[in-house]
């Protein structure tokens, strides 16, 4: 039977690449986004059973309803990608309290809610929970207090969950996207300065397929032009 995966926070770019990769690998998919229009159109272009579901990941009731819809139609959740983020690029002087809180709610609180919902399916049969991080997960960025704080919180959440859930057969991993992702609709001077979203998606799938004797807790990816 195909594995059922949910990608929470899907838009053009990496979210769409993750959806295509997981569908190509035979997963049935639930795609969550605040606006249902994009994920519904993306779902229509994918080969496997795919549902585009309008979900605000900061709303516990909406998250529960979204998981129930996917579970009822596609089966128990075996893979979850917590990919949602949202923040204004502002420093402390300009960032409002609402903007700061919203960044945390989308990335960290949303990841917490979605992971709690997936857990009931995974405790019996195992599974994989992946979090999308950023350079700001490990190095705070100037002029981005909301985004940096939220990404630090996501990293801590992932690390704590990995230690709790690994012994229960659930692989939790955090992916640090250390660089800009090649935009889907904008021309750039040099593609070598950017990460290819399809290549990143391959790395996510590698985490899903890892043997439990050698699970990765944190994977960082960056364009080769940046060096190491």
CATH number for the domain spanning 89: value is: 3.40.50.720
- Give the residue from 206, 183, 212, 204 showing the smallest Cα distance to 195: 183
Question: 106 CB contacts (<8 Å, ≥6 apart)?
Answer: 9, 57, 58, 84, 85, 86, 87, 150
Q: Consecutive 10-residue runs of the chain (228 residues): their mean pLDDT? A: 92 93 96 88 88 96 98 97 91 96 97 97 96 93 92 97 98 95 72 88 98 97 72
Q: What is the pTM of this model?
A: 0.94
Contact (CB, 8 A) for 166 and 126: no
Structure tokens at 72: 């009822």
Number of domains making up the chain:
1
Please tell me the distance from the alpha carbon of residue 24 to that of residue 136, in angstroms, as a whole number: 30
Q: Which domain holds residue 99?
A: 4-226
List C-alpha distances in Å: 124 to 46, 205, 207: 29, 22, 20
DSSP string, 66-115: HHHHHHHHH-SEEEEEE---------TTT--HHHHHHHHIIIIIHHHHHH
Which pLDDT value is given to residue 191?
75
Token pair 């012994």 is found at: 167
Please tell me the distance from the alpha carbon of residue 36 to that of residue 228, in angstroms, as a whole number: 39
Please tell me the distance from the alpha carbon of residue 119 to that of residue 123, in angstroms, as a whole number: 6
């Amino acid at each position: 039977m195909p594995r059922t995966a949910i990608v929470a926070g899907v838009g053009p770019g990496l979210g769409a690449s993750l959806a295509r990769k997981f569908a190509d690998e035979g997963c049935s998919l639930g795609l969550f986004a605040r606006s249902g229009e994009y994920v519904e159109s993306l779902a229509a272009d994918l080969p496997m059973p795919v549902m585009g579901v309008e979900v605000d990941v900061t709303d516990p009731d909406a998250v529960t309803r979204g998981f129930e819809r996917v579970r009822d139609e596609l089966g128990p959740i075996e893979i979850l990608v917590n990919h949602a983020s949202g923040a204004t690029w502002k420093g402390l002087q300009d960032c409002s309290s609402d903007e700061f809180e919203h960044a945390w709610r989308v990335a960290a609180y949303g990841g917490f809610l979605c992971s709690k919902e997936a857990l009931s399916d995974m405790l019996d049969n195992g599974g994989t929970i992946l979090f999308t991080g950023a350079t700001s997960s490990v190095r705070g960025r100037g002029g981005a207090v909301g985004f940096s704080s939220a990404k630090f919180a996501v990293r801590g959440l992932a690390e704590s969950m990995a230690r709790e859930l690994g012994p229960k057969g659930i692989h939790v991993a955090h992916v640090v996207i250390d660089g800009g992702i090649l935009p889907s609709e904008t021309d750039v001077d040099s593609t070598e300065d950017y990460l290819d979203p399809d290549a990143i998606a391959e790395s996510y799938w590698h985490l899903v397929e890892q043997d439990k004797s050698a699970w990765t807790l944190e994977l960082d990816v960056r364009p080769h032009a940046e060096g190491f």
